Structure 1
Amino acid sequence: MKNESFALEIERFFEYFVNELKLTNKSKYTIISYNTTIKSFIEFIRQYEKPLSFENLKKIDIMNFLEYKNMVLEKQSELEMSSKKLYITHLKTFFTFVNENLDTDIKLSTIFKINIKVPKRTPKGVENKDVEILEHYLENLQLNNFLNIRASLILKILLYSGARRGELEVLKTKNFVVDGELYIIHTIGKGDKERTLYIPKEYIEDEISYYIANDIDFIATTKSGKVMDGSQIYRFLNNTYKKIGIRYSGAHILRHTFAKSMIAKDVNIVTVKELLGHANIQTTMIYTNPNQREVQKAYLDTMK
């Protein structure tokens, strides 16, 4: 292989880079995401015809990597613009790290002068009719065994508190504190920051009582008592969606649903920002785009 030595150099630097990510408290999902990109880049250069090194890396090589990712997808789908932008961001950040620890100067500003415009879209949540199906499922779920109780608790926390999957993973029964009609939930959010979630006490009181009575520590726990990791939570959610006949995947769709429900109820945007644990209000603003029905109504009102 022409680029085996270059691939090995990148692997060596990536080990150091991962250590830096961990030391700077980057989330495990961020590290997994970087790992996916860099491993793909290493696979690409190992089969790339042009001999590569840190000294001769060019913009065209990065563009060819994106085309390689398209080819890997084959006929499944075209590589999303957001994915292309993420790959470039990851590679630029990684090569900036390499540049800081290498005698050779990598021409980063030239290599990564790639402007990919990602169209701004309001994140999709669960459709209203599917929320009704999910809530009907929860209302009729018999809390007579551990698996049903766990399913009810996980789904309600994600749907009604705006929790992230990573926050759910570390959530324990001791994090739930009763305050009047609410459970105040203290957890560790994105970037290892402490964060507070809220959920009406009546929504999950039976489930929490069961967990406490049976000395179950973590909310996301398997039947054998092991803590569920992100992929297990992901599969559990997808299996539930499939079982009740709605087409979604993962936990983030429920977080989007929570955010959009807050906006629909005219909750102040600053409050929504706090409920979602966003560091920047601009992130929260993506949920505020009016839908077409609202636009049409506003237009007609002005024309009367």
Structure 2
Amino acid sequence: MNNHAFSNEIRMFWGHFKNELKLTNKSKYTIISYSTTINSFIEFVEQYQKVLNFTNLKKIDIMNFLEYKNLVLEKHTELAMSSKKLYITHLKTFFSFINENLDLDIKISTIFKINIKISKRTPKGVEKKDVKILEEYLKNLKLNNFLNIRNSLLIKVLLYSGARRGELEVLETKNFIKDKELYIINTVGKGDKERILYISSTYIKEELSYYIRNNIEYIATTKSGKIMDGSQIYRSLNNIYKKLGIKYSGVHILRHTFAKNMLAKDVNIVTVKELLGHASIQTTMIYTNPNQKEVQKAYLNTIK
């Protein structure tokens, strides 16, 4: 292999860079995301015809990597712009780390000067009709066995508190503090930051009581008593969506639904920011794009 030595060097630096990500409290999902990009880049390097090293890397090599990703994924269309941007950001950060530690002069600003524009779109939540289906499912779900109780609790915490998947993974019954009509939930959020979630006690009273009676510590727990990881939670929810005939996937869609529901009820955007645990209000603002009916109404009001 022409680039065997180079790929081994990248692997070595990836090990060091991963340690830095851990030491700086990057989330496990951030680390997994970097790992996917850099391992793909290593695979690309090992089959690349051009002999590469840290000083002869060019912008065209990065462009060829993106094309390689297209071919490997066997897509009929190009990679999503957001994916391309993410790959470039990961590699730019990684090679900047290498540059600093090797005291080289890798032309970072030139190599990664690839301007990818992403159109801003309001994150999609579950449509109203599907929210009704999901809530009807929860209403009629018989809480007579562990799996039904667990699934009900997982969905309700996600849908009614705006929790992230990572927060759900580490959530314990001891984190739920009863305060009149609410449970105040202390959890660890993105970037290993402590934050507070809220949920009406009427939503989860029965499920939480079952967990406490049976000494089940973690909310996301398998039938055999093991803590669920993110992929298990993802699959569990997808099975429910499929059963209900609603076409969604994953956990984050429920968080988007929570955010959009709060704003639809005219909750102050600063309050929504706190409920979602966003570091910046700019992140929360992506949920505030008016829909077309609102735009049409505003226009008609101006011409009356």
What TM-score comes out, normalization by structure 1 length? 0.99
Residue 95 of structure 1 corresponds to: 95
Residues 55-101 of structure 1: CA deviation (Å, up to 9, x unaligned): 10001100110111111122354200000000000000000100011
Residue 150 of structure 1 aligns with which residue? 150
CA offsets 1:126-151 (integer angstroms, 9 cap, x no match)? 01110000000000000001000001
The residue aligned with 2:120 is 120
For 1:67, the aligned partner's letter is E
User: Is 2:286 aligned against 1:281?
Assistant: no
2:212 — aligned with what? 212
Aligned equivalent of 2:75: 75
Bigger mean CA offset, 75-84 vs 108-117: 75-84
Could you report, residue by residue, the CA deviation over 1:249-277 in whole angstroms, capped at 9, with x for unpaired residues? 11000000000001111100000000000
- Report the 3-state secondary structure (helix = DSSP H, G, I; strand = E; otherwise coil) of the residue aligned with 2:227: coil
CA distance in structure 2 between the partners assigned to 1:147 and 1:134 by the alignment: 16
SS of residue in 1 equivalent to 2:64: helix
Corresponding letter in the other structure for 1:53: N
**What displacement does 1:301 show?**
1.6
Is the partner of 2:10 in helix, strand or coil? helix
Displacement of 1:298 in angstroms is 1.1
Distance 2:24 2:158 in 1: 27
Tell me: CA distance 1:138–1:121, structure 2 relative to 1, closer, same or farther (3 Å): same
State which drifts further: 195-204 or 75-84.
Answer: 75-84
Aligned to 2:141: 141
More displaced stretch, 100-109 vs 32-41? 100-109
| Other structure's SS at 2:297 match | helix
Per-residue Cα deviation, 1:167-206 (whole angstroms, up to 9, x for no partner): 0000000000001100000000000000100000000000
- Give the CA deviation at 1:103: 3.1
Q: Which residue of 2 aligns with 1:266?
A: 266
Q: Bigger shift: 66-75 or 197-206?
A: 66-75
Could you say what secondary structure the match of 2:156 adopts? helix
Secondary structure of 2:129's aligned partner: helix
In structure 2, the residue matched to 1:56 is 56
Between the aligned partners of 1:77 and 1:202, the Cα distance in structure 2 is: 47
Aligned positions, number: 304
Which aligned runs of 4 or more in structure 1 are off by greater than 6 angstroms?
A: none
Structure 2, gaps ≥5 residues long: none
SS for the counterpart of 1:288 is coil
The aligned amino acid for 1:228 is M
How large is the Cα RMSD of the aligned pairs?
A: 0.7
Residue 302 of structure 2 is aligned to residue 302 of structure 1: yes
Q: Distance in 2 between matches of 1:42 and 1:156?
A: 41
Cα distance in 2 for partners of 1:63, 1:133 equals: 44
Long gaps (5+) in structure 1: none
